[in-house]
């Protein structure tokens, strides 16, 4: 499907988004696609592939940049997503909204779902923060070589568990005493949006985050769908395998809202 693409639209001071719109009159909804990168690297260009795929399914897709660590710490990216949501209320007010993200982008997508009741797809989202840090005091934080801007997202962090790197980029994102506030499942309520939570069982993002968040959602009466994949693939490394699940989820919780 041919799309109209508008790049680098400012949605708040110093931050821009890319706008991908199908050339069709009736849109199924609007999807915010949030890039990963441990809150410290990469940008919106990384999710052009996701945007083009979803545009082909009939969705308007918005891909934003957000402020990165270590210059900006939690909750700066969450504040940016709040500003984006407010901007969308003015510029696309008639469309139901969902969010999708991988890794750190999955974390931010989940936070949007918690704040605004949006349907959310999280691929290897960073979901277990406070509990993981408390139970891994002996792990020494260590940075990996930063990915350059030409590295395919699906090729990043595909080699399995790496507790030192996991601890490093979480610590890099947080200022002092912020771990509990930055842990999504601490903020679940009955007003949270339905979520599709996907993770590989042997990747560097622990499955514990999916388990804890889904349990909290279910206790609050919020639909939670989980997929645990074999192997160590991370985020968009398994995207093709779960595309059908994503579209079914959107059909249940986003397309339906448009008809209300």
Instruction: Summarize pLDDT for 101-113 with one digit per residue, the tens.
Output: 999 999 999 999 9
% pLDDT > 90, the chain: 85
Instruction: Summarize pLDDT for 125-181 with one digit per residue, the tens.
Output: 999 999 999 999 999 999 876 554 445 555 556 678 889 999 999 999 998 899 999
- φ and ψ at residue 179, rounded to 5 degrees: -60, -45
Question: CA quadruple 42, 53, 241, 112: dihedral positive or negative?
Answer: positive
d(CA 33, CA 98): 9
Domain spans in the chain, listed from the N-terminal domain onward: 3-258
Cα angle value 140/160/230 (rounded, 5°): 140
Give Cα 37 to chain centroid, integer Å: 11
Q: What is the 3-state secondary structure of 197-243?
A: EEEECCCCCCCHHHHHHHHHHHHCCCCEEEEEECCCCCHHHHHHHHH
d(CA 195, CA 70): 29
Q: What is the pLDDT of residue 144?
A: 77
CATH superfamily of 3-258: Alpha/Beta hydrolase fold, catalytic domain (3.40.50.1820)
Please list, in sequence order, all residues whose beta carbon lies within 8 angstroms of the beta carbon of residue 60, skipping any fewer than 6 positions away. 19, 20, 21, 22, 27, 29, 30, 31, 92, 95
Helix (H, G, I), strand (E, B) or coil at 117: coil
Q: Whole-model pTM?
A: 0.94
């Amino acid at each position: 499907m041919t799309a109209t693409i508008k790049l680098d639209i400012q949605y708040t001071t110093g931050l821009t988004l890319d706008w991908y719109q199908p050339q069709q009159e009736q849109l199924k909804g609007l999807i915010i696609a949030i890039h990963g990168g441990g809150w410290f690297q990469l940008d919106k260009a990384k999710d052009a592939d996701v945007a083009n795929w979803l545009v082909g399914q009939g969705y308007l897709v918005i891909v934003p940049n957000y402020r990165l660590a270590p210059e900006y710490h939690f909750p700066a990216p969450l504040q940016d997503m709040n500003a984006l949501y407010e901007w969308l209320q003015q510029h696309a007010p008639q469309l139901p909204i969902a969010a999708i993200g991988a890794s750190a982008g999955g974390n931010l997508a989940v936070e949007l779902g918690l704040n605004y009741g949006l349907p959310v797809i999280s691929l290897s989202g960073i979901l277990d923060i406070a509990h993981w840090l408390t139970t891994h005091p002996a792990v020494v934080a260590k940075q990996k070589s930063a990915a350059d801007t030409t590295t395919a997202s699906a090729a990043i962090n595909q080699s399995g568990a790496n507790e030192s790197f996991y601890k490093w980029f979480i610590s890099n994102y947080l200022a002092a005493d912020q771990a509990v506030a930055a842990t999504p499942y601490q903020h679940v309520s009955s007003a949270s949006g339905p979520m599709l939570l996907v993770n590989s069982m042997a990747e560097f993002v622990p499955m514990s985050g999916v388990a804890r968040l889904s349990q909290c959602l279910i206790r609050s009466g919020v639909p939670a769908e989980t997929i645990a994949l074999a192997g160590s693939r991370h985020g968009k490394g398994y995207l093709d395998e779960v595309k059908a699940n994503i579209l079914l989820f959107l059909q249940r919780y986003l397309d339906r809202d448009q008809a209300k």
